[in-house]
């Protein structure tokens, strides 16, 4: 648990003894319970724009032209497209070729090669694995060109598919039905199969040596049955214990349903002030790759406060189903619906100070994308999410009592006017752009909107875990918020197995509180700093940063928070040894 902002609320004195304690002591007022950001452990990542999929095709679209040095000329009026047997070309390929134009008037004979190359470029642009060739012909005013489109005549699975060989074979069967073969359609099939956690795939296409256009698909599969993630950082406040240790173990394929099972834990370095444990399981359903997941998180906190025995216990249960909307190598989008069950209780000694109960239904959309240069390197990556949440009055949720103040089972809530049934909209966007070989920029924004005061867990918390590097997590929070984190970066070292990145940042966040009688309705906080990130392949990442807060965290603070040196080290096994 970490510090939450001190706020004086009109009308709370005399409701309950717990409310008297809140207003009597700033120390207690700042410890109404950890916020959502402080309790959320890093989630498993099972989807993304690339998905570990790659298609390699053996094709050469820059063919030699035998007419480059010819002095002959021709005057073409159009092109007739045929397949390799002289028949009709597939309509979808003809649509791609309709963009190819024929130069009018007398042209050098090499113009036929220019038209061929333009046709190949059009097919490649639309993802067709096909090539255009010039057959022998008596040249008239119409050029005859043949289109050789690929189809997979045989699919070979190599590598270790683990327990998924039969499932992969079933999911890959549609590949052999793609005729003509389109790279984007093949990517979708591969990405659907690649939703299986622990699998990565690469499809290589090579000529089969039989009929023109027949290719062999060599599917290289790599199965990793488990992964371990470890992290150490010092993002927390001194009261809760700055340094934390986090670990998560993931196992893939426990039931064979494209599933992921994980357990995780986080603790402060002294193992006394805060502990969080989590367990979860998710699996795939049906050919459309609907995923269903459930998780349970339990946290208990005992912050270091002189002469005060304060403790908070939090239970978070989540059930979610997601459906992929768009899937390609460079773009992924999904939609999900879920339910959160949250209980949070704070005690002073053995006396209940506050108790919250949230039962929330939500819908969420996620977007991940990237843009690549001609050499395949990524120059732009972006992600975004939008979430709408509605609290439900079920299963003992916090409600308003006889005095119009929020309570749960007769115990005062963390916020006297907090509404457990509030409608909340959250969103965020993250964009990273490479401006040159070594320089780049990043912009990240987050926001939250509601029309009612919220309980402690639902408020937007500023600080090192969200926006506002240099401020302690939960140093201030609000019902509404809008903020941005902006970086300029330079990568002086870029080589296999090591990348070093220097960065400077500016963070700004504005929060707004809707509570009756709040002494400060809105506040803007800024911070600046810079640091160094080190990436050692896929298995190890380290970051150290200097952060300087530019504002007082609370209206009644006498000074700005001190400058901080922040560090974070993250490693992943077995990737660290690969």
pLDDT digits (tens, 9 = 90+) for 557-568: 999 999 999 999
Predicted local confidence at residue 307, as pLDDT? 75
Q: Among candidates 530, 524, 531, which has minimal Cα distance to 553?
A: 524
Confidence of residue 54 (pLDDT cuts 50, 70, 90): low
Q: Please tell me whether residues 140 and 166 are part of one structural domain.
A: no
Q: Is 39 helix (H, G, I), strand (E, B) or coil?
A: helix
Q: Which residues touch 206 (CB under 8 Å, ≥6 apart)?
A: 58, 215, 216, 218
Among the residue ranges 57-61, 158-162, 337-341, 428-432, the one predicted with the least confidence is: 57-61
Comparing 58 with 442, the larger pLDDT belongs to 442
Confidence of residue 20 (pLDDT cuts 50, 70, 90): very low
Predicted local confidence at residue 61, as pLDDT? 44
10 Å Cβ neighbour count for 42? 13
Predicted local confidence at residue 18, as pLDDT? 43
Partnered with residue 257 across adjacent β-strands are none
Dihedral over alpha carbons 168, 170, 175, 178 (to 10 degrees): -170
Predicted local confidence at residue 203, as pLDDT? 87
Confidence of residue 87 (pLDDT cuts 50, 70, 90): confident
Evaluate whether residue 2 is within a structural domain.
no
Q: How many helices (H) and strands (E) does the chain have?
A: 7, 30
Predicted local confidence at residue 8, as pLDDT? 35
Enclosing domain of residue 187: 150-223
**Where among 103, 118, 149 does a domain terminate?**
149
Quote the number of domains for the chain: 3
Q: Please tell me whether residues 464 and 562 are part of one structural domain.
A: yes
Predicted local confidence at residue 319, as pLDDT? 98
Comparing 49 with 495, the larger pLDDT belongs to 495
**What's the rounded mean pLDDT across residues 484-501?**
95
Asked if the model's pLDDT at residue 10 lies above 50, the reply is: no
H or E element at residue 121: helix 111-125
DSSP state letter for 458: G
Q: Please tell me whether residues 243 and 94 are part of one structural domain.
A: no
Evaluate whether residue 346 is within a structural domain.
yes
Comparing 492 with 67, the larger pLDDT belongs to 492
Evaluate whether residue 284 is within a structural domain.
yes
Residue 185 belongs to domain with CATH number: 3.10.20.310
**Where among 223, 251, 278 does a domain terminate?**
223
Q: Please tell me whether residues 498 and 540 are part of one structural domain.
A: yes
Strands 53-57 and 199-207: parallel
- What is the average pLDDT value for the chain, to the nearest integer? 88
Residue 322 belongs to domain with CATH number: 2.40.160.50
**What's the rounded mean pLDDT across residues 241-264?**
94
Predicted confidence (pLDDT) per residue in 94-133, tens digit:
999 999 998 988 889 888 899 999 999 999 999 999 999 9
Q: Please tell me whether residues 380 and 250 are part of one structural domain.
A: yes
Confidence of residue 577 (pLDDT cuts 50, 70, 90): low
Cα dihedral sign for 445, 451, 454, 458?
Answer: negative
Predicted local confidence at residue 192, as pLDDT? 80
């Amino acid at each position: 648990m970490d510090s939450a902002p001190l706020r004086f609320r009109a009308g709370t004195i005399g409701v309950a003894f717990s409310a008297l304690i809140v207003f009597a002591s700033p120390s207690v007022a700042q410890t109404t319970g950890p916020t959502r950001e402080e309790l959320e452990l890093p989630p498993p990542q099972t989807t993304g724009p690339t998905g570990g999929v790659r298609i390699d095709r053996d094709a050469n679209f820059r063919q030699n032209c035998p007419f480059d040095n010819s002095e002959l000329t021709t005057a073409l009026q159009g092109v007739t497209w045929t397949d390799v047997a002289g028949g009709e070309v597939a309509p979808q390929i003809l649509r791609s070729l309709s963009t190819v134009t024929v130069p009018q008037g007398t042209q050098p004979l090499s113009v036929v090669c220019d038209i061929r190359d333009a046709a190949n470029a059009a097919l490649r642009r639309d993802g067709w694995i096909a090539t255009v060739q010039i057959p022998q012909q008596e040249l008239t005013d119409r050029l005859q060109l043949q289109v050789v489109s690929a189809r997979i005549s045989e699919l070979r699975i190599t590598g270790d598919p683990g327990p998924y060989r039969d499932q992969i074979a079933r999911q890959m069967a549609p590949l052999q039905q793609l005729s003509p073969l389109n790279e984007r359609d093949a990517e979708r099939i591969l990405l659907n199969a690649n939703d299986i956690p622990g699998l990565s795939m690469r499809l290589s296409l090579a000529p089969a040596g039989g009929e023109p256009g027949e290719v062999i698909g060599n599917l290289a599969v790599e199965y990793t049955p488990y992964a371990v993630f470890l992290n150490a950082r010092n993002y927390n406040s001194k009261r809760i214990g700055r340094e934390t240790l986090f670990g998560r173990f993931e196992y893939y394929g426990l039931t064979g349903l494209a599933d992921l099972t994980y357990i995780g834990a986080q603790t402060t370095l002294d193992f006394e002030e805060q502990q969080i444990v989590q367990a979860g399981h998710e699996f795939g359903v049906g050919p459309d790759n609907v995923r269903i997941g459930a998780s349970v998180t339990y946290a208990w906190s005992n912050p270091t406060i002189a002469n005060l025995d304060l403790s908070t216990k939090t239970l978070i249960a989540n059930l979610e189903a997601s459906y992929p909307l768009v899937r390609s190598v460079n773009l992924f989008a999904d939609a999900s619906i879920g339910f959160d069950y949250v209980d949070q209780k704070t005690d002073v000694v053995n006396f209940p100070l506050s108790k919250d109960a949230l039962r929330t239904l939500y819908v969420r959309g996620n977007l991940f994308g990237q843009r690549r240069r001609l050499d395949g390197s990524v120059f732009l990556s972006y992600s975004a999410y939008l979430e709408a949440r509605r609290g439900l009055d079920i299963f003992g949720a916090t409600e308003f009592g006889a005095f119009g103040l929020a309570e749960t089972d007769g115990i005062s809530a963390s916020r006297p006017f907090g509404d457990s049934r509030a409608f909340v909209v959250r969103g965020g966007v993250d964009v990273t752009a490479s401006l040159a070989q070594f320089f780049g920029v990043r912009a990240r924004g987050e926001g939250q909107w509601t029309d009612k005061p919220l309980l402690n867990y639902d408020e937007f918390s500023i600080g090192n875990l969200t926006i506002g590097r240099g401020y302690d997590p939960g140093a201030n929070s609000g019902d509404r918020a809008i903020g941005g984190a902006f970086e300029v970066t330079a990568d002086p070292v870029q080589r296999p197995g090591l990348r070093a990145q220097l960065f400077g940042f500016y963070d700004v966040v504005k929060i707004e509180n809707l509570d009756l009688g709040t002494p400060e309705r809105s506040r803007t906080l800024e911070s600046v700093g810079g640091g160094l990130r080190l990436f050692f392949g896929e298995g190890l990442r380290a970051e150290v940063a200097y952060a300087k807060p530019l504002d007082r965290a609370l209206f009644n603070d006498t000074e700005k928070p001190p400058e901080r040196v922040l560090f974070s080290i993250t490693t992943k096994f077995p990737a660290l040894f690969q």
